[in-house]
Amino acid sequence: MKRYYTRACNFYYGKESKYLVSKKKTLPLNNNKEISFDNIEIISRKTKKKVSINNLNSLPKLLKKKIKLDLKIITSKKKNFANLNFQKLPNIMGVLNLTPDSFSDGGQFNNKNKGVDHAFRMINAGANIIDVGGESTRPGSKSINERVEWNRISKILKSICKKFPVSLDSRKSKVMEKGIKIGVKIINDVSGLNYDARTINILKKYKIPFIIQHSQGTPENMQNNPTYKNELLDIYDFFEERINFLRSIGIKHKNIIIDPGIGFGKNLKHNMNLISNISIFHTLGFPVLVGNSRKSFIKEISGENDTKHRIGGTVASSIYLMMQGIQILRIHDVNELIQGLKVFKELLKN
């Protein structure tokens, strides 16, 4: 049979979603009645077709069987971990860059007092977890020595890991292991576990939750004319291959998050297609994280160049992503985003 992919679509949120689920007119995403859907899009490399969940019996027998298996995955409840609650969307991962050269906030928080203070501000504003990074992976950046990376983050990690949940943004296994021993709760590898061959051994040894991000190329060259046959399906296949590989080497736990990597080896068209169709990744059966905050697609659409002036585009895209059931948003401006989400959710109650 031709390869088909299933994308949940036409979502409802809040009070309306709960009502429709109770009337069996929609299916709850991840068994969460707060967000549900009543259509799927059946996608192949050459075709797309939207089908109501009430019309699945009209599909060919083999295709119907595949779709129903996919729907079972999409509607299954997610297990919570690392202070992330997948029955309350979205979770917010606050960004703490301890670098001199990150694309939007390099040099702002890279001393102990400023870094710790900013982490507390994000937690107090409502962030569920803080993502700490000591190496910039902005387009054009080069890798740094692991000793330099660790020196940038170690003091702050030791200060905050005992106080609230921390994710470690690193591509290097030695940095990961040191962070885990201090108390880091999640490993966030933007290379998709491809940069350091020992990373897999560390993840297996400590059984720690981790994020697999898709990235085409390396930060140094990833924006040099990125190309795909079909970015949405190519990236879906990448995650499927990675998960199958992890299972084959004995990593069986479900505490894995997938991140399609907005801006990592993607142009504006790729980013827009990924965000517009982001709900396809629910079919993989894992929580989905998106790092949309202050990204270049906002500049390219709005014409606003300064990375500090992209809060509007961040809030708009975050609300859209929430309405597609995305479980985690990686955000710089935590207070502003949570303010926007609170207002939006309150309006939905009326």
Could you give the residue numbers annotated as active site? 295, 330
Q: Which parts of the chain fold into alpha helices (H)?
A: 15-22, 61-75, 112-125, 146-160, 173-182, 199-206, 231-248, 268-276, 296-302, 311-322, 334-348
C-beta atoms surrounding 306 within 10 Å: 9
Count Cβ atoms within 10 A of the Cβ of residue 153 and give its class: 0-12 exposed, 13-18 middle, 19 or more buried: buried
| Residue that is written with structure tokens 């967000």 in the block | 35
- Measure the CA–CA gap between 81 and 254, rounded to whole angstroms: 10
271 is written with which tokens?
């980013």
Closest CA to 191 of 234, 137, 272: 137
Q: Yes or no: say if 235 and 274 are a contact pair by the CB < 8 Å rule.
A: yes
Phi, psi (rounded to 5 degrees) for 337? -65, -45
- With a CB cutoff of 8 Å and minimum separation 6, the contacts of 180 are 168, 187, 202, 206, 208
